[in-house]
Amino acid sequence: METSGGILGRLGEKVLGWIALALIIVVGVGVWRMGPEARGAILSGIWYTLVWIVIVAALPWLTRLFIGRLLEIGENWVGVVLIAVYTLIDLIVGVIFLGGLPVGGWGWVVALAALAVAGTYNYLVCEYLAEQAGA
């Protein structure tokens, strides 16, 4: 049950919703008006990004298959190595889909931010699986 907000909160939500819709329409028209090469490059980039996200999201769940063995070792370095290996795999898959290293400052910022999010996700999933396994 929502207790905060009021009329200004609801009005703010409506305004932000309309602004988001307008931005989506502007981006859609911009992509529609581009040439076929630019449109293909953007759609290809979106496709590769989505495939990378699916791979990154599914990868740490493989830990379920061998988490018992890792927990038997009982050392912290095992978890660090596991997270590092998953993050390295995320990096390699990203470089493969990107077609090389990022270009420009913003490309590096986005790539490093995506890798940081992927590493955090790897940690959280592995921690959850370890708790489920009884650690």
Taking only the tens place, the pLDDT of each residue in 82-107 is 999 999 999 999 899 888 888 888 88
Residues, the chain, total?
135
Residue 3 has pLDDT above 70, yes or no: no
Residues 6+ positions from 82 with CB-CB distance below 8 Å: 63, 70, 126
Q: Which of 109 and 107 is assigned the larger pLDDT?
A: 109
Q: pTM of the prediction?
A: 0.69
Sign of CA dihedral 19, 24, 25, 30: positive
CA distance 82 to 64: 12
Provide CB contacts within 8 A for 134, sequence distance 6+. 71
Binned at pLDDT 50, 70 and 90, residue 46 comes out as: confident
- The tokens for 33 are 């008006």
Q: How confident is the model at residue 5 (pLDDT cuts 50, 70, 90)?
A: low
